[in-house]
């Protein structure tokens, strides 16, 4: 099994199995929401797309944030702690970076999984079960490198224990430079933004390792939204 890492969605990477990482916080939220009973998550990049999607679907719980603040009129923000129980069948999540990474991965891979620290061992087992090459896509921030996603990617690479590219090796070395997961996440600008917004607890929550068994999978596109179930 060959394992590669794309530190930003724009980097050239493809494989039969793709794993998308947006650890602070979209993929962590998706894993938590599906674990708690939502049947599917419709992830879209723009706020108005999310609103239009709920209108067209005739149902759906709206969630999302901009600059760490819940979108006005939405039911929830983007904190995984808000999804400990399901408030409906469908969660419509507006997340710019995570959605774009999912769509990019889907164009380059036969199957796409959503990874985080919360489902770390479960997503690794799912990828190993497929038995094919793996590309890990870091969502980043507005197309740029994000340390938190790179850290999580490194943890996944280490557990996959495949034939790593230089990029995958670099992710492992980066992850190994921190004493634990929380330290790895807190070193990032994403974490500092959450701290400033009073969402420090989300960092601790997302740093918990292998506490959930759910492995979300990209199902297909529903208009501009990526359906994950």
Domain extent for 48: 2-228
Calpha distance 107→113 (Å, rounded): 13
Instruction: Please count the structural domains in the chain.
Output: 1
In this structure, what CATH number is given to the domain that contains residue 195? 3.90.1560.10
Residue 169 pLDDT level (bands cut at 50, 70, 90) = very high
Reply yes or no on whether the pLDDT at 84 is more than 90: yes
Q: Which of 57, 94, 43 is nearest to 72 (CA)?
A: 94
Supply the pLDDT for residue 100: 86
Q: DSSP code of 209?
A: -
Q: DSSP code of 85?
A: S
Calpha distance 144→142 (Å, rounded): 6
Supply the pLDDT for residue 95: 85
- In contact, 37 and 30? CB cutoff 8 Å: no
User: How many other C-beta atoms lie within 10 A of the C-beta of residue 179?
Assistant: 8
Query: How confident is the model over 34-73, as pLDDT tens digits?
Result: 999 999 999 998 999 999 999 998 899 999 998 889 999 9
Looking at per-residue pLDDT, the higher value among 124 and 104 belongs to 124
């Amino acid at each position: 099994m060959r394992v590669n890492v794309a530190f930003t969605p724009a980097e050239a990477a493809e494989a039969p199995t793709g794993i998308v990482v947006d650890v602070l916080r979209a993929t962590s939220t998706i894993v938590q929401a599906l674990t708690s009973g939502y049947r599917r998550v419709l992830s879209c990049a723009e706020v108005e797309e999310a609103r239009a999607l709920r209108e067209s679907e005739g149902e759906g719980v709206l969630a999302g944030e901009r600059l760490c603040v819940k979108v006005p009129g939405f039911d929830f923000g983007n904190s995984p702690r808000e999804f400990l129980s399901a408030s409906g069948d469908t969660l419509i999540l507006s997340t710019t970076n995570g959605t774009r990474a999912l769509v990019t991965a889907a164009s380059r891979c036969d199957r796409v999984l959503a990874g985080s620290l919360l489902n770390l061992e479960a997503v690794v087992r799912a990828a190993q079960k497929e038995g094919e090459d793996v590309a890990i896509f870091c969502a980043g921030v507005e197309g740029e490198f994000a340390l938190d996603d790179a850290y999580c990617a490194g943890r996944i690479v280490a557990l996959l224990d495949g034939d790593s590219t230089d990029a995958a090796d670099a992710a492992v070395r980066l992850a190994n430079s921190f004493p634990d997961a929380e330290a790895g996440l807190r070193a990032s600008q994403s974490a500092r933004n959450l701290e400033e917004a009073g969402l420090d607890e989300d960092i601790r929550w997302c740093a918990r390792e292998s506490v959930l068994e759910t492995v979300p999978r990209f199902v297909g596109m529903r208009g501009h939204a990526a359906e994950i179930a």
